[in-house]
Amino acid sequence: MKLLVNALTKFLLGLVLLGALIFLPAGTFDYLGGWIFMAALFIPVLIMGGVLFIKAPTLLEKRLKNKEKEKEQKSVVALSGLVFIGGFVVSGLDFRFGWSNMPRAVMIISALVFVFGYALFGEVMRENAYLSRIVEVQAGQKVIDSGLYGIVRHPMYMSTVLMFLAMPLILGSWYAFILFCVHPFLLASRIKNEEKILTEGLSGYSEYKQKVKYRMIPFIW
């Protein structure tokens, strides 16, 4: 029951706060891109949260943890948060003042890309029972090298890049898209520190790095 209350509280809080970040700067609720994005984000979140609560409550509990222990990771998380907040505020202001002229087709395709990225994220959680929002080596943790982990070493970050870059396009803002382009570089910094921790603390991770060459983007990096 405690886990259920915690999960529902964070879900509702996220729903209200994100809605405020989008619709208050827009100055109206008559913002189609905002509603499309809210649906594309929170409907899958609710479904996936329900599945995890029933089938993998331990993994759900890990996903609700968000207090980083590493100093460098705290900095990356803080900067990512600023980009996240700034991007949504800019999107809302863009809609209010009509700065961008986003084709409707781009918004729809971006919504599909976002949902695809979330599907990849769900597959990552299915493959890796040790998946956590904070960088740590857990007791009994083993290297996962199958599925998406056989393509890139950090498929979770690969999926979030797709989702983050799709967000401002769903919301119809080229200016916010430029701001969100900072996110992959912040993830690159997070990955370098994370791999240092995993190499030092997780048995077999050095061999895994030799086997899977690409960190986040297949055939590129």
pLDDT at 103 over 70: yes
Domains of the chain (ranges; CATH) run 2-211 (1.20.120.1630)
pTM attached to this predicted model: 0.84
Nearest to 106 by CA among 155, 164, 50, 173: 173
**How high is the pLDDT of residue 94?**
96
What does the alpha-carbon distance between residue 126 and residue 132 come to, in Å, rounded to a whole number? 13
Q: Dump pLDDT digits (tens) for 169-221.
A: 999 999 999 999 999 998 888 888 888 888 888 888 899 999 999 999 988 88
Task: Give 62's pLDDT tier (boundaries 50, 70, 90).
Answer: low
What dihedral angle (degrees, nearest 10) is formed by the CA atoms of 48, 50, 56, 57? 120
**How high is the pLDDT of residue 138?**
67
pLDDT at 162 over 90: yes
Q: Dump pLDDT digits (tens) for 164-177.
A: 999 999 999 999 99
% of the chain surpassing 90 pLDDT: 48
What does the alpha-carbon distance between residue 151 and residue 218 come to, in Å, rounded to a whole number? 7
* Most confidently modeled range among 63-77, 148-162, 192-206: 148-162
pLDDT at 136 over 70: no
pLDDT at 64 over 70: no
